[in-house]
């Protein structure tokens, strides 16, 4: 199944209205033009995050939005860095660390919930970033902030899982030789162990 088919099926199932579809497609087009693998990754992460949230009894639609749009900021990162297969050095990492902030800038005032979710998607890993969050796009209730955090956590796991399964780079090679995907995910997100176990047991993660 092509990523375009996955995207269309998700948008139909979630009943995304025409104006929102057009906006989402425009954001995805930025990635598609800049770096096709990041475009495909975004669609897969949105699809998986939605299915994960549904399985966990959380907001499927919100997780799908944040997952689909989480990396739009990568459209502002140079392509040679996005294509790099070798382990990142410190200056590569500094450059890459801007992408959640760029996602936030690009999405704010259009999709505010997704902007807040996207800026948090690398904050649950061991070398978490960005350290400081930008000012929120609008004032959110405590309940909405909790939902944003939940979504961003789900997207963080979906993002890591997709990279683990599809990216052929040095970062994951050694771990994949020693550990199963379930073990690698639990090691990366120990606080989410219970959720990860459920997702593997129910066949959402394989
Ligand atoms: Fe990212
Ligand atoms: Fe990502």
Separation of alpha carbons 16 and 151, rounded Å: 18
How many angstroms does the Cα of residue 71 sit away from the middle of ligand 2?
5
Is the distance from CB of 117 to CB of 152 less than 8 angstroms?
Answer: yes
The pTM (predicted TM-score) of the whole model is 0.97
H-assigned helices in the chain: 3-13, 18-34, 36-55, 60-69, 79-82, 90-96, 99-107, 112-119, 142-166, 170-178, 181-188, 193-201
**Average pLDDT per 10 consecutive residues for the chain, totaling 206 residues:** 98 98 98 98 98 98 98 98 93 97 98 98 95 94 97 98 88 87 96 97 98
Residue 196 confidence (pLDDT):
98
Residue that the structure tokens 């939940």 belong to: 150
How many angstroms does the Cα of residue 77 sit away from the middle of ligand 1?
11
How many angstroms does the Cα of residue 38 sit away from the middle of ligand 2?
7
Residue 169 confidence (pLDDT):
73
Q: Write out pLDDT tens, residues 127-177.
A: 899 999 999 989 999 999 999 999 999 999 999 999 999 987 777 888 889
Residue that the structure tokens 């502002």 belong to: 76
């Amino acid at each position: 199944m092509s990523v375009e088919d996955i995207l269309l099926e998700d948008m139909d199932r979630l009943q995304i209205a025409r104006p929102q579809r057009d906006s989402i497609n425009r954001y995805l087009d930025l990635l598609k033009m800049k770096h096709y693998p990041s475009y495909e990754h975004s669609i897969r992460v949105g699809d998986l995050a939605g299915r994960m949230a549904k399985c966990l009894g959380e907001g499927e639609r919100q997780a799908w939005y944040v997952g689909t749009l989480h990396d739009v900021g990568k459209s502002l990162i140079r392509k040679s860095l996005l294509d790099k297969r070798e382990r990142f050095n410190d200056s590569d990492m500094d450059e890459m660390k801007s992408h959640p902030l760029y996602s936030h800038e690009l999405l704010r005032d259009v999709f505010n919930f997704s902007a807040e979710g996207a800026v948090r998607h690398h904050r649950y890993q061991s070398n978490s970033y960005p350290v400081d969050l930008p000012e929120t796009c609008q004032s959110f209730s405590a309940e909405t902030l909790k939902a944003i955090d939940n979504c961003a956590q789900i997207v963080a796991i979906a993002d890591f899982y997709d990279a683990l399964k599809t990216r052929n780079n040095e970062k994951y090679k050694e771990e994949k030789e020693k550990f199963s995907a379930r073990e690698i995910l639990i090691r990366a997100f120990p606080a989410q162990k219970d959720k990860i176990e459920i997702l593997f047991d129910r066949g959402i993660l394989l």
